[in-house]
């Protein structure tokens, strides 16, 4: 489809021109803290500017919600309730800023608070994921079906970073012992593919900003996995930015984790 090809081409161009040339090459003053140990680099800003300009050529006048733009002007978040682009120009900035993988670009389109199209690019490997609501999920042009790791104990990547202390302690005591824990990649552009491609079975997210999750939630659900709020309600891009999200390689694995979380 020409439309998908145009977005993919733009994302790859941004990766090659704005992001990869600065990987492990950042200079003093090219990394800042937005507050709360949330780094931003010159690459984030240049990538977002390129994406905003390029996406405006693909669909003129479609409102744009970028992570850095919304940080500078929180009123931009109101656009999430309508038709819009949603962009994380450099997902995994924490990794990128310290010179290690993974990191990627996330782009989604939404209408009425619901994402209907999403694209995920791994900048280093070139892996490209795309999904359109009702049409399945694809990796590098091949349709994929979510699969579990197949082990005796489900593999879980559980992010505790943004949980309040009481919830963190409850998860560590009552949820973690039932899973084989692996490190979280601090990169949604990597975590969502892991949930469908047989690397992880389940993941917990606490912070649920639209640019981090719009594309991945759609892609995982289209692959036959399940991503939803812990109470089972669908993830909305215009919803709460905290409160949790469960992603899993299958509805059954999702149900198991949701039941454990509900019992806390």
Residue 240 within any structural domain of the chain = yes
In Å, how far are 39, 109, 155, 219 from 117, measured between CA atoms?
27, 5, 28, 8
**For tokens 């389109």, what's the residue?**
109
Kindly state whether residue 149 falls inside one of the protein's structural domains.
no
Query: What pLDDT, on a 0 to 100 scale, did the predictor assign at position 80?
Result: 98
Same domain, 178 and 240: yes
Question: Do both 115 and 208 map to the same domain?
Answer: no
pLDDT of 162 reads: 79
Q: Is 67 annotated as a binding residue?
A: yes
Residues with pLDDT less than 50, the chain: none
Q: Are residues 8 and 118 in the same domain?
A: yes
Whether residue 134 lies inside any domain: the answer is yes
Q: What CATH number is attached to the domain comprising 121?
A: 3.30.540.10
Q: Is residue 39 part of a domain?
A: yes
Comparing CA positions, the residue from 21, 13, 217, 15 lying closest to residue 103 is 15
pLDDT tens figures, 31-46: 888 877 789 999 999 9
Q: 74: domain range?
A: 2-144
State the Cα–Cα distance between residues 246 and 123, nearest whole angstrom: 25
- Considering the domain boundaries, does residue 174 fall inside one? yes
Domain boundary (144, 179, 210) is at 144
The verdict on whether residue 212 carries a ligand-binding annotation is: yes
Residue 162 belongs to a domain: yes
**Structure confidence at residue 171 (pLDDT):** 84
For residues 135 and 192, state if they share a domain.
no
| Strand 142-144 versus strand 137-139 pairing type | antiparallel
What is the per-residue pLDDT across 114-160, written as a single tens digit (0 to 9) for each?
Answer: 999 999 999 999 999 999 999 999 999 999 999 999 988 999 999 88
- Whether residue 150 is contained in a domain is answered as no
Quick one: tokens of 77?
Answer: 């978040």
What CATH number is given to the structural domain containing 231? 3.40.190.80
Is 91 part of any known ligand binding site? Answer: yes
In this structure, the dihedral spanned by the alpha carbons of residues 108, 112, 116 and 121, taken in order and rounded to 10 degrees, is 10
Do both 140 and 11 map to the same domain? Answer: yes
Query: Which residue, chain included where needed, has tokens 């709020």?
Result: 229
246 and 254 Cβ atoms separated by less than 8 Å = yes
Looking at residue 1, its pLDDT comes to 64
Q: Is residue 133 part of a domain?
A: yes
Based on the structure, what is the number of domains in the chain?
2
Q: CA–CA separation, 26 vs 16, rounded Å?
A: 15
């Amino acid at each position: 489809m020409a439309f998908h090809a145009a977005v993919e081409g733009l994302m790859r161009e941004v990766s090659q021109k704005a992001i990869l040339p600065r990987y492990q090459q950042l200079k003093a003053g090219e990394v800042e803290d937005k507050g709360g140990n949330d780094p931003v680099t010159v690459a984030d800003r240049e990538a977002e500017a390129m994406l905003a300009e390029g996406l405006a050529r693909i669909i003129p006048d479609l409102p744009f919600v970028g992570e850095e733009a919304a940080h500078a002007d929180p009123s931009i978040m109101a656009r999430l309730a309508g038709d819009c682009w949603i962009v994380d120009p450099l997902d995994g900035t924490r990794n990128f800023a310290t010179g290690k993988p993974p990191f990627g670009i996330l782009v989604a389109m939404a209408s009425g608070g619901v994402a209907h199209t999403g694209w995920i690019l791994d900048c280093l490997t070139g892996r490209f994921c795309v999904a359109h609501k009702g049409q399945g999920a694809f990796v590098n042009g091949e349709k994929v079906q979510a699969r579990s790791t197949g082990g005796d104990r489900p593999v879980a990547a559980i992010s505790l970073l943004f949980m309040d202390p009481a919830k963190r302690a409850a998860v560590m005591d009552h949820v973690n012992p039932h899973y084989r824990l692996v490190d979280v990649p601090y990169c949604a552009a990597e975590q969502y593919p892991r949930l469908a491609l047989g690397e992880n079975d389940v993941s917990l997210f606490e912070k649920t900003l639209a640019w981090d999750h719009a594309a991945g939630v759609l892609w995982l659900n289209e692959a036959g996995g399940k991503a939803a709020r812990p109470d089972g309600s669908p993830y909305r891009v215009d919803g709460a930015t905290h409160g949790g999200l469960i992603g899993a390689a299958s509805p059954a694995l999702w149900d198991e984790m949701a039941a454990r979380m509900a019992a806390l």
